[in-house]
Copies of this chain bind each other. A is one copy, B any other.
């Protein structure tokens, strides 16, 4: 397959490299930002362009890997041959955004990408969707070259998964930021929490998060909770409130279920 990438950020960078490594031809990579293109592995032997008008119309697949907001305007400007498939990589953008293309779909790798972290493709979940069966089948096969975990989901299902991702990635990352603040206020290194963070993620690989729950709130240890609220009194009020709210939610949940 000849594949063109629109976008050269973290997703495009990792994905183009991985597709190249599984035998696809990366035909061209477009980014309006020339600095971004340097992130893309040079061994791809792809053409690079910063001119939208220079995007070649004869690729088999166009993967739009840009910010959610930009997908609509990219789609409006892009012209491809009728047999080509245009897919985007976003969790929350409707497949309808690409409806002007005869063949279109979703090619969404559910992961948080950063330039320096290696990606474990075999276990990475891909969510694919096509506007018809043949299109979906092709996107499935491309994902199948990379991963053992491919899900064919519709727009709403994918958006629900993305909300789940917001909770387990964006929100947990925010709680880690708060923890880092609390330790920093007492000149304690965040490093001390890192193994615990890894084990927390590890535990829910083999048991449900409900059953993995521990801590003062789970065991309704009001004495410890009161001491912790007292120790947090010099933190911003929103941190104190967040502590109280999540503690209460955990207590409520484990009261109901026990």
Contacts and interface: CB of A to CB of B under 8 A. Distances in A.
Interface of A: 67-69, 92, 110-112, 114, 116-117, 120, 123-125, 127, 149, 151, 153, 156-157, 159-180, 182-183, 186, 188, 190-210, 212-219, 221, 223-224, 227-228, 231-232, 238, 242-243, 245-246, 249-250, 252-253
Main secondary structure of the interface of A (DSSP, over half): helix
Contact of A174 (B186, B202, B207, B213): B213
Contacts of A179: 163-165, 167-168, 209
A196 B110 contact: yes
Contacts of A67: 219
A238 B245 CA distance: 9
A183 B169 contact: no
Contacts of A175: 167-168, 171-172, 175
A170 B208 contact: no
A137 B244 CA distance: 37
A198 to B, nearest CB: 5
In the complex this chain forms, how many copies of it are found?
2
The 6 closest A-B pairs by CB, nearest first: A170-B215, A201-B201, A176-B209, A172-B172, A167-B179, A164-B179
Contacts of A120: 195
A132 B46 CA distance: 66
A205 B209 contact: no
A177 to B, nearest CB: 4
B183 A176 contact: no
A243 B224 CA distance: 26
27 contacts: A67-B219, A68-B224, A69-B221, A111-B199, A112-B203, A112-B212, A117-B202, A127-B192, A149-B192, A157-B188, A159-B227, A160-B186, A161-B183, A162-B228, A163-B182, A164-B180, A165-B179, A165-B196, A169-B214, A170-B217, A170-B250, A171-B250, A177-B213, A194-B205, A197-B204, A198-B201, A200-B201
